[in-house]
A and B are shown apart, each in its own frame.
Chain A
Amino acid sequence: MDLNIANLWVINVGGVEIWITETIFNTWFIMLFLIVLAIIARIKLRNFKVIPKGFQNVVETIIEIFDNFATSSLGKKLSYIAPWFFMVFMFLLSSALFSVIGIRAPTADWATTFALALASLLLMFFMGLRHRKGSYLKSFFEPHFIFFPLNLIGELAKPVSLSFRLFGNMLSGTIILTLYYSLTPFFVQIGIPVFLHAFFDVIFGALQTYIFVILSLMYIKGAAD
């Protein structure tokens, strides 16, 4: 297991180099997995019964729990953006869980976490302007217009802190596990890493997923209300 993010391919588009990194490849892999899973669920949805069981139960539980969580956090008025955060939730959780089987979590790359945090920031601005209009812009100049730079930095710091929190936490697990695999003899690399993966990937991953999503929802609700 390597700590650095490997570059798999380099594509040249109009003279601009684009690195296809391990993060991007793993992201596509997770995307493919989630989309295939969604298609299977969509096909099975045709035969969903009134009284759910088995696979239907799992799908319904995930969607219902997330929808209730998003609606209670955002309120009915803003719940239409829940699908975006459903994607964020599923992607972050899958990234953490896939690292259990040795696939480097895309969230252990700042580009990924910042992209998601940037989306939250854009949504925050958009929702603030859409629902509060002038009063949202006015809030940047309160309590006095000289506070504008501070308010602006405060708002811009949100995605930075969000992205670095997630990146740092996911990377810390990756670093610890990399060090463990690098420094320990072969015979202790069987069995024991299960607990380390369970703690850093599953528990930390789920916790960080929850924190990222709930903070993003709170920022957006704060901007729009």
Chain B
Amino acid sequence: MPEERLFGLDSQTLIQIGIQLLNGIILAVALGYILYKPVKEFLHKRSEGIQNKIDESDATMAKADELINEYNAKIKDIDEERIKILEAARAAAADESKIILEVAKQEANEIKKRSLESISADEKRLKEEARLYIVDLATHIAGKYIAKNMDDEAHDRIFEETLARMENTKWPK
């Protein structure tokens, strides 16, 4: 067995360096393939996964913001639409009320006219009735008066006068 030593510069040292270099290469390959690369890939995949989730969240947030803006715009549009509808309804109601008023006025006028006509007709009828009544009354009074005061002499005289007046009257041709 060769002697123990601490340091030497000979062929054995070169062999030792070669062996240690080979050991280093074997260890590097083993650690690299068994541990370093797979763990790095795992970390990379996890980072990617987290990044994807963050991106997805950002995209969802952006979509949500877009929806909020869209709905805000819709609410604004609805407000405008509501105002427009209200204005249109008011205008339509005003038009309709005008028409209704016009129709009502016309109807009222018609009724008034008809009432006036009816009143006038009633008045005429009443006047006629009153006149007839007066005539009847006058005839009745005159009848009574004549029955009471007229004698045969007066009757004949009036008859003669009336007959004479009728003779003098010219008949229309």
Which residue numbers of A lie inside 8 Å of B, CB to CB? 2-7, 10, 16-19, 21, 23-24, 27-28, 31, 34-35, 38-39, 41-42, 45, 48, 50, 59-60, 63-64, 67, 82-84, 86-88, 90-91, 106, 109-112, 114-116, 118-119, 171
**A118–B32 touching, CB < 8 Å:** no
- Which residues 18-36 of B have a CB within 8 angstroms of A? 18-21, 23-28, 30-32, 34-36
Task: Decide if B105 is an interface residue (CB 8 Å cutoff).
Answer: no
Please name all residues of chain A whose beta carbon is closer than 8 Å to the beta carbon of B2 when the two chains form the complex. Answer: 7, 10, 17, 19
**B31–A118 touching, CB < 8 Å:** no
Q: With A5-B4, A63-B36, A86-B31 known to touch, is A31 a contact of B26 (CB < 8 Å)?
A: yes
**B12–A42 touching, CB < 8 Å:** no
Which residue numbers of B lie inside 8 Å of A, CB to CB? 1-7, 12-13, 15-21, 23-28, 30-32, 34-40, 42-43, 46, 49
B contacts with A: majority SS: helix
**A24–B20 touching, CB < 8 Å:** yes
In the complex, the chain A residue whose C-beta lies closest to that of B1 is: A7
Report the Cα distance A121→B91, complex, angstroms.
Answer: 94
Please name all residues of chain B whose beta carbon is closer than 8 Å to the beta carbon of A27 when the two chains form the complex. Answer: 20, 23
**A114–B17 touching, CB < 8 Å:** yes
Please name all residues of chain A whose beta carbon is closer than 8 Å to the beta carbon of B46 when the two chains form the complex. Answer: 50
**A35–B30 touching, CB < 8 Å:** yes
Please name all residues of chain A whose beta carbon is closer than 8 Å to the beta carbon of B39 when the two chains form the complex. Answer: 41, 45, 59-60, 63
In the complex, the chain A residue whose C-beta lies closest to that of B9 is: A110
Task: Please give me the 4 A-B residue pairs with the lowest Cβ-Cβ distance, nearest first.
Answer: A111-B16, A83-B32, A115-B20, A4-B4
**B32–A86 touching, CB < 8 Å:** yes
The contact of B24 among A4, A6, A119, A171, by CB within 8 Å, is A119
B99 to A: closest C-beta gap in Å? 74
Please name all residues of chain A whose beta carbon is closer than 8 Å to the beta carbon of B15 when the two chains form the complex. Answer: 16, 18-19
